[in-house]
Amino acid sequence: MPTQIVYEQDYQLWLETTLKQLQERDLDRLDWEHLIEEIAALGNEQKQKLESSLLQLLKHLLLYQHWSLPDCKNHWEVEIDNFRVELRKLTKSKNLYNYLLTVLEEVYIDALRQAKKKSGLNCFPQSCPYTIEQILDVDYLPPFTYL
């Protein structure tokens, strides 16, 4: 069965076949169209994961720092740690680390909007107050500034 048809009917078999063809350097029989599509999608998926983890991390840093809810403080610390772990895994890739630097302010705007909606507060900084080192530092928690 041609690999293009396999791709549509049995994705796992297509992956195994494509891997084998690559390992054997059988480039003439590769399903180039779908292989290119899959590699592009993989890159986009990694960027989306990075943006999602960054968004959640920034939102929780803001809430931790500015919103006085004693019952939530420990929860937010755990969430900060969880999203930071995910982000640190992703940024082991130099390419994704550089991507993080380019989207930080854009993602911060979304985190800011969500923090405002969640808390009802309007006291958050308009631009990201955290350095990239603080964002990735597993021990960093911002000082409390809530009233």
Cα–Cα distance, 97 to 88 (Å, whole number): 9
Instruction: At 9, give phi and psi (nearest 5°).
Output: -105, -30
**Whole-prediction pTM:** 0.81
pLDDT average per 10 residues of sequence, the chain (147 residues) = 78 91 92 90 91 97 85 86 95 95 98 95 95 96 81
Residue 86, token pair as written in the block: 């995910």
Nearest residue to 114 via CA among 52, 31, 68, 30: 52
pLDDT of residue 3: 67
Q: Are 87 and 130 in contact (CB under 8 A)?
A: no
Q: Are 130 and 142 in contact (CB under 8 A)?
A: yes
For residues 28-46, b (16+ Cβ closer than 10 Å) or e, as one string? eebbeebbeebeeeeeeee
pLDDT of residue 6: 84
What's CA 138's distance to the chain center, in Å?
Answer: 16
Residue 129, token pair as written in the block: 């107050």
Q: Where are the alpha helices (DSSP H) in the chain?
A: 3-9, 11-23, 32-66, 70-90, 94-119, 132-136
